[in-house]
A and B are shown apart, each in its own frame.
Chain A
């Protein structure tokens, strides 16, 4: 052993990360993720699934589905949106399944691996650690989303779609992925076991996706006596689920096959689609940010006790702000008994 080389290097002037340097946690996570065979097997499986679904829908629609009078064929009489919807659905389902799995071990895995304290003994803030973990997950989701673009682009050849549709669709599924990844991260920061965090993350994901739909159905079926309250509740609920935002972004498309044609009646106008989509994506991004802020507060031991309340308050604030900003024409837009 020699200490000459070690002694020859002066100490750093500051613990701050030098400008232009990548977040070290992000770099570590990217290295680990993209070296694993699982990353590429998931990618391959996803591409096969998306292509297979797109091909099956195309074959069905082109081979007489339109004549059968099934709901999917009712969308403008063109196959393009239906095929695009199929790709978007495959992408959405994959991201909903994969995203919590990418982050559910983010913090609990460090604890189980016994590297958590080593990380905490560095000057990294909780927020830097969370950003690095989330950034690596989003990089992988972005890879998945971009890998399917050639398949989605085939829908253009079939007509009835524009580049803006592609942009809307990608934005909707990526924000859904962001929300699910943030949920996994928060579950991992809350529970110190990955198995428990996985259960919580997937239950939370299911609740976020399906809960608002069930609540909307109940509101529609039972009715709320106060019209303002009803308007606010439906406005928030309809914009909080990634399923509806993806459905809107997909111009109904294959989602129409699932939910029934005309489920989005009233959203035919582009302005209505864009407004609903923007509001949905903003709400979901806000929720994701609140979850991440809360997780960052949990990461640092000194912040565990203190920042719990702050994080929760932030989450409620986002919801409150959104409640106040709900547009008035939401009910018509969703076709939930407007007028």
Chain B
């Protein structure tokens, strides 16, 4: 895949609050048209990074470029605000406004003329699935709907870049799923999205690349597969799969280890109390493997198990293993 042009670049970006450095020299490059996840524990500097990029804070040191243009300093604020849509952490809403008025207000703030404003508000309500609630007061909408409305406010001036700080915080599983779908839709529309979260599984499902932050620095950044390889060079590339095999399945491990492009994962689920799996037990055997290749490779694994007379109760492909990457990298940072 050709190298994408960066939408956001920072060099040595830093911010100090009193004596404490919330961000201590961030070097970041976010390619255009991707969803980039900023991962890190509380206090890692994610929110400060997003606020700096949104022009809400001035850096104590360093520089940033948005879409190839300088983005630090008051002179660039107008251009920055046109290019960026920002949704802060724990953002609130004007509960006494109607849903359409809420978006209309921000459209006015961004200077959209009347004719465009109407179409834009209608389009956004449609995009977030709230067209039928346009006349309802924002206070009467569910938390998930309010969050979507808040996301829509960041889109009202059609920015090229979206900065979303913990957008899924406080949402129920259904609302989270809807939010993820919306993010994918926005990516398909060509937006560059930077999303921060400490709920790792959320980011793993939706992000093309991640940046892992710790103590105001970027510990690692890039595609998840590459990060996993960097973390454990011994580990081959591929996708992690959790298998549940019904007994008798003693031959499974040897069979799988012998298949091309398949390796057994050492940290897969074990039997209770770490005991070896009892072949006589009625419980299924759970093992984790890593499979290189696409759908054909996975189909070949299943075919091989079935051909050997092993009954497969579950074949669960794990999209990403961000938590393991995150823990590995942050532990290395702390120990280092």
Q: With A1-B182, A123-B109 as given contacts, are A28 and B58 in contact (CB-CB < 8 Å)?
A: no
CA distance A6 to B112 in the complex (A): 14
Interface string of B58-97 (1 = CB under 8 A from A): 1000000000000000100110011011101011111011
Interface residues of A in 1-42 (CB under 8 A from B): 1-12, 14-18, 21-22, 24-25, 27-28, 31-32, 35-36
Which residues of A lie under 8 Å from residue B112 when comparing CB positions? 12, 18
A233 within 8 A of B: no
7 A-B residue pairings within 8 Å (CB atoms): A1-B126, A6-B126, A6-B127, A15-B110, A114-B91, A118-B92, A123-B109
B323 CB → nearest A CB, Å: 29
- Contact of B56 with A301 in the complex, beta carbons under 8 Å: yes
Interface residues of A in 31-89 (CB under 8 A from B): 31-32, 35-36
- Contact of A16 with B111 in the complex, beta carbons under 8 Å: yes
A323 CB → nearest B CB, Å: 34
- Contact of A12 with B111 in the complex, beta carbons under 8 Å: yes
Which residues of A lie under 8 Å from residue B91 when comparing CB positions? 114-115, 117-118
Q: With A114-B92, A120-B56 as given contacts, are A15 and B116 in contact (CB-CB < 8 Å)?
A: no
What residue in chain B is nearest A301 (Cβ atoms)? B56
B124 within 8 A of A: yes
A210 within 8 A of B: no
- Contact of B88 with A5 in the complex, beta carbons under 8 Å: no
B215 within 8 A of A: no
Given contacts A28-B101, A122-B81, 4 further A-B contacts (CB under 8 A): A5-B119, A7-B123, A8-B123, A11-B82
Which residues of A lie under 8 Å from residue B119 when comparing CB positions? 5, 8-9
- Contact of A118 with B111 in the complex, beta carbons under 8 Å: no
Interface residues of B in 90-141 (CB under 8 A from A): 90-94, 96-97, 101, 105-106, 108-114, 116, 119-120, 122-124, 126-129
Q: With A3-B189, A12-B157 as given contacts, are A18 and B86 in contact (CB-CB < 8 Å)?
A: no
- Contact of A122 with B110 in the complex, beta carbons under 8 Å: yes
Q: Which residues of B contact A (CB under 8 A)?
A: 51, 54-58, 74, 77-78, 81-82, 84-86, 88, 90-94, 96-97, 101, 105-106, 108-114, 116, 119-120, 122-124, 126-129, 150, 153-155, 157-158, 181-182, 185, 188-189
A212 CB → nearest B CB, Å: 38
What residue in chain A is nearest B73 (Cβ atoms)? A302
CA distance A81 to B129 in the complex (A): 62
- Contact of A121 with B81 in the complex, beta carbons under 8 Å: yes
- Contact of B58 with A302 in the complex, beta carbons under 8 Å: yes
Q: With A15-B82, A113-B94 as given contacts, are A9 and B120 in contact (CB-CB < 8 Å)?
A: yes
CA distance A21 to B110 in the complex (A): 12
- Contact of B81 with A115 in the complex, beta carbons under 8 Å: no
B141 CB → nearest A CB, Å: 15
What residue in chain A is nearest B85 (Cβ atoms)? A121
- Contact of A2 with B158 in the complex, beta carbons under 8 Å: no
Q: With A8-B119, A12-B157, A120-B56 as given contacts, are A18 and B96 in contact (CB-CB < 8 Å)?
A: no
How many residue pairs link A and B with beta carbons under 8 A? The number is 138
Which residues of B lie under 8 Å from residue A31 when comparing CB positions? 96-97, 101
- Contact of A5 with B111 in the complex, beta carbons under 8 Å: no
A213 within 8 A of B: no
- Contact of B116 with A1 in the complex, beta carbons under 8 Å: no
Listed from nearest, the 8 A-B pairs whose CB atoms lie closest are A114-B92, A5-B123, A24-B108, A6-B123, A122-B109, A11-B158, A121-B86, A117-B88
What residue in chain B is nearest A117 (Cβ atoms)? B88
- Contact of A14 with B111 in the complex, beta carbons under 8 Å: yes
- Contact of B92 with A113 in the complex, beta carbons under 8 Å: yes
- Contact of B97 with A18 in the complex, beta carbons under 8 Å: no
A142 within 8 A of B: no
B36 CB → nearest A CB, Å: 19
A124 within 8 A of B: yes
Give the contacting residue for B155; candidates A6, A10, A113, A301; CB below 8 A. Answer: A6
CA distance A14 to B74 in the complex (A): 17
- Contact of B81 with A12 in the complex, beta carbons under 8 Å: no
CA distance A16 to B119 in the complex (A): 19
Which residues of A lie under 8 Å from residue B123 when comparing CB positions? 3-9
What residue in chain A is nearest B155 (Cβ atoms)? A6
B174 CB → nearest A CB, Å: 14
- Contact of B114 with A21 in the complex, beta carbons under 8 Å: yes
CA distance A114 to B119 in the complex (A): 27
CA distance A190 to B79 in the complex (A): 29
- Contact of B109 with A5 in the complex, beta carbons under 8 Å: no
What residue in chain B is nearest A20 (Cβ atoms)? B114
Which residues of A lie under 8 Å from residue B113 when comparing CB positions? 12, 18, 21
- Contact of A15 with B111 in the complex, beta carbons under 8 Å: yes
B153 CB → nearest A CB, Å: 6
The residue in A8, A10, A117, A121 that gathers the most chain B C-beta atoms within 10 A of its C-beta is A121
Q: With A3-B189, A301-B57 as given contacts, are A11 and B157 in contact (CB-CB < 8 Å)?
A: yes
Which residues of A lie under 8 Å from residue B96 when comparing CB positions? 31-32, 35-36
Q: With A2-B127, A8-B119, A301-B57 as given contacts, are A24 and B181 in contact (CB-CB < 8 Å)?
A: no
Q: With A2-B127, A5-B119 as given contacts, are A123 and B106 in contact (CB-CB < 8 Å)?
A: no
What residue in chain A is nearest B79 (Cβ atoms)? A15
- Contact of A3 with B158 in the complex, beta carbons under 8 Å: no
A151 within 8 A of B: no
CA distance A179 to B81 in the complex (A): 33
Which residues of A lie under 8 Å from residue B88 when comparing CB positions? 114, 117-118, 121
A318 within 8 A of B: no
A119 within 8 A of B: yes
CA distance A36 to B94 in the complex (A): 14
- Contact of B86 with A123 in the complex, beta carbons under 8 Å: no
